[in-house]
Chain A
Amino acid sequence: MRRAWGLGRFRRRYGASPLHLAGHLVVFAIAAFAIDRIASGAGLAKLIVLYAGLVIAHDLIFLPAYSGLDRAARAALARLPAPQSARVPVINHVRAPALISGLLLIIYAPLISGKADAGYLQASGHHLEGYLRNWLMISVVLFLGSGLIYAVRVRRAVVNARV
């Protein structure tokens, strides 16, 4: 009983179980050691810029930016005159290829933009070539494929509506 009462008081004051606290302390100790090791090589300033910069870039810039793009796309599509195909929403046939094409652009940006050319030449003996073209071609294929699926779905919806 006494022990349970002590645990209850700990929970009220701390906000979770002692295991929660112990887990966090262990993890922070390991993380502090690892961060100290990175900082000793890369320098603390660069490390903070890297970690904090990426969190800020993702949470406050990248995510709001693509959410905003998505909103804009939906608003633009809503303004289009609604055809007979209105029952088949077009938005996801834009979202899917845009998402995949955008991800490829992000992952392969140093190759597509040519920014990695100096390092690439040193490593491979060749200049970066064709990545922009390949990305554009893949994107065209993705959008065309998605459009084709949309057309098939619309046609099916129209046929079903007649029946």
Chain B
Amino acid sequence: MSATKARSRPVPAARPEPSRRPTGPVRSDVWRSPLRGPWLTSFLGVLLVPAITVIALTGFISHWAYHPELAGNATIAPGFDIPVLFQFPQSWPSWDYAATQGTHITLGLMTVPLVLAKLWSVIPKLFKWPTVRNLAGMLERLSLLLLVGSVLVEFLTGIFAIEDYSPLGVNFYPVHYYGAWVFGTVFVLHACLKFPVVRRAYRERGALKPLRAGLRETQPEPPGSSELAPVNPADPTISRRGLLAMVGGASLTIFAVQAGQSIGGPFRRLAPMAPRGREFGTGPNDFQVNHTAASAQITPAMTGARWRVTVVGATSVALSRQRLLAMAQATETLTISCTEGWSTTQRWTGVRLVDLARLVGASPGAILRAVSLETVGVNSQASLAAEQWSDQRALLALRVNGAELSPDHGYPARVIVPGAPGLHNTKWVRELRFEAA
């Protein structure tokens, strides 16, 4: 926190002068914070490893939870993707995706202070002089540029996406997904290359020992040890544990103002900064939606008395809302969990998807393609795997919390399945097509 530029300060005479004497921020005595050094950077890096690992894993789990192998589900061109390695078993609770995606978003935001502190700790490296000595140094510089660029891109695109803000005019999925490939691979390389540095720093200074020093005992790391340690340290104004406490305090504050939207229920109101941390009323339909009927261009005429849902299997049938309501009704408590990280658990009533499958003689291994009245975009249709629609809890919902579905929640009928990303609970359904896998 003290990168004081000391222009008037003379360069210590003992230091060998490079032939072309650098000026400005490339002068090694410009970065004066006494906290910077290999130990601090190592400590921050070691904290980042588990955080980034969990964020990356939950991110890939979300990608695979879309069932990108099924028609129309892929958010990026499927020919250029790795195989699906994990999908939620239907035996897991219906809030499994809510838990992993809530973790992805909340932990991601909580890691912002840590990432910024890590970048602060290594800023002298950016201005290192001479810039590169050999090919190895050049490659490492290039990889660091990718590392910093991709971490900033991942966090910025993620943050903008959960706030429904898209000023960049780019498709979120490929930029965030392939950005994770860039960041993930360079991060692994960086962690491997820096492992000896961490080990040396921990051996020389103790893994936790520098945390015991209060402000008065805070000493700079020896300047010869690395480019990170200042050659010309200022007097400390904060201890290392003080800096880490500020970073941790920032992470905890972010958790406090954000996490309620992922936990849901009464906690939602306790998340004053979360994009979906609020309730708009106490009525049966007053919970969050991920896109409105108006934005989907659904008109009352489309959902009126002439609305039918066409169910196609071995045979085909067009069902009115009255016909659907006359069928056996089931009520299930299921969670909608948005990819944006918020979730909401409600009591849904409607016809079981397995009953509709039986009605049209669908084959047990079929894939269910649910098509919406909405004609464009990722919400216009979704394919559900056999194990998803044949889950006894999966419904074509007609009512929620004892009331008719509201237009924004998908009236006249919507799909609701446990443990899928929210947008696969297709709203304003016009067709359910059981197709051979």
Contacts and interface: CB of A to CB of B under 8 A. Distances in A.
B175 A38 contact: yes
Contact of B175 (A13, A14, A41): A41
A160 interface: no
Contacts, number: 203
A55 to B, nearest CB: 5
B167 A24 contact: no
A126 to B, nearest CB: 6
B237 A124 contact: no
Contact of A35 (B120, B142, B178, B254): B178
Interface centre among B140, B165, B215 (most CB of A within 10 A): B165
Given A51-B150, A134-B272, A124 B254 contact: no
Contacts of B322: none
Interface residues of B, number: 80
A110 B148 contact: no
A20 B292 CA distance: 52
B164 A41 contact: no
Interface residues of A, number: 65
A46 B172 CA distance: 13
The majority secondary structure among interface residues of chain B is helix
A42 interface: yes
Nearest to A102: B250
Given A55-B149, A107-B109, A108-B163, A126 B186 contact: no
B137 A15 contact: yes
Contacts of A151: none
A110 B156 contact: no
Interface string A32-64: 011101100110001100111011001100011
Contacts of B290: 123
Listed from nearest, the 3 A-B pairs whose CB atoms lie closest are A15-B134, A15-B136, A119-B164
15 contacts: A14-B136, A15-B137, A27-B186, A31-B181, A35-B178, A46-B170, A51-B146, A51-B150, A64-B3, A67-B2, A71-B2, A96-B246, A99-B250, A122-B291, A123-B295
